[in-house]
Amino acid sequence: MTSMGQDLVIGIDVGGQTAKCGVVDARGNIVAQTVISSENTTNAEEFVSALAEALNRIIVEAKAEGCIRGIGVGIPNGNFYTGVVENAVNLVWAKGGNIPFAKMLQEQMNGIPVSLTNDANAAAMGEMTYGAARGMKNFIMITLGTGVGSGIVINGEVVYGHDGFAGELGHTCAVRHNGRRCNCGKEGCLETYASATGVARTAREWLDMTDEPSLLRSLDNIKSKNVYEAAKEGDKLALRVFDYTGRILGEKFADFIEFSAPEAIVLFGGLARAREFLEEPIRKAMDENVIPLWRGKVKLVFSQLKESDAAILGASALAWEL
């Protein structure tokens, strides 16, 4: 709990299934938090109203009435410049439209200022403020989850580009010919190979191509978690899947390094928990494919933030700038 008069902010991470919300103090302590569903309505007004109700509950729980200086939101396809969520295909209430999300939430929260950005940029801000990138002014944040997100920080500032959507590194091409079809409409995107869904797809395809024995053969619906568990048991096919995935990531990281000369590449998200299988092939492929100028110079860092807290902290970092 907190006391009246202390500056606090709210961080919100909106995903396809849930929205995580927390009241955060200046030291990065989450003093109250909650989670609500983000998939039970197809109506933006209803979702924003439910979100505002949840925020008011945790404000009361934290005894923070009158102390909230701003609200930061990390959300797919969130435009930092406009506060609009544009055609977020993974949000049932935002598909195919432009939702003035920041304006709607600010009105519901009685004028508390709201700022938003996409979820990967919010994660980058969280790492820079509270996590593994603290003190760094040049780094690239890669989120490995259902997709591959990225946030690029140059000279201490997140790169947004002229339209607010810079940094879609997950949709750069990893396989040029006969690549996998991506939800974005392109083929061969990094996201289709190096995400959690990409790892599961690689395993399924390889099982179909060979009679090689594997612990995964007994499973009907293979998930990345299954591949990870099989790799921990020494399953050769699962280990090769992670080696393949790591090499693809390393090759693309070499391209990213040559673009912005970062001090580090920071990895976060569910798939990053497979560090023991990904780190070596990533480092090897990265150094093999980058020009000598940067070989061995760029750190590969795995996030130290708890996944349950990191999304909230990342979004809250945005609110301190309001």
The CA distance from 67 to 3, in Å, is: 9
Q: Where are the alpha helices (DSSP H) in 62-188?
A: 101-108, 119-130
Asked whether 89 and 48 are in contact (CB, 8 A), the reply is: no
Q: Distance between terminal CA atoms of the chain? A: 23
* pLDDT reported for residue 48: 97
What mean pLDDT do residues 269-276 have?
A: 92
Q: Is pLDDT larger for residue 76 or for residue 6?
A: 76
| pLDDT band with cut points at 50, 70 and 90 for residue 309 | confident
Q: Please, which residues have CB within 8 angstroms of residue 12's CB and are 6 or more apart in sequence?
A: 19, 20, 21, 22, 51, 55, 71, 72, 73, 74, 75, 312, 315
Quote the DSSP letter at residue 321.
T
What are 86's two structure tokens?
């544009």
pLDDT in tens, 237-259: 999 999 999 999 999 999 999 99
> Which residue in the block uniquely carries the two structure tokens 């070596």?
280
| pLDDT band with cut points at 50, 70 and 90 for residue 308 | low
What mean pLDDT do residues 273-280 have?
A: 97
pLDDT over 70, % of the chain: 98
Q: Can you spell out the DSSP letters for 199-248? A: HHHHHHHHHHH-----GGGG-SS--HHHHHHHHHTT-HHHHHHHHHHHHH
* pLDDT reported for residue 45: 95
pLDDT in tens, 11-51: 999 988 899 999 999 989 999 999 999 988 889 999 999 99
The CA distance from 141 to 146, in Å, is: 16
Q: Is the pLDDT score of 161 beyond 90? A: yes
Q: Is the pLDDT score of 1 beyond 70? A: no
Q: Is pLDDT larger for residue 195 or for residue 40?
A: 195
CA-nearest of 104, 118, 125 to 43 is 104
What mean pLDDT do residues 120-148 have?
A: 91
The CA distance from 230 to 70, in Å, is: 45
Phi and psi at 286, nearest 5°, equal: -65, -50
Domains of the chain and CATH, by start: 8-125 (3.30.420.40), 134-304 (3.30.420.40)
Per the prediction, the chain carries an average pLDDT of 93
The CA distance from 242 to 245, in Å, is: 5
Q: Is the pLDDT score of 66 beyond 60? A: yes
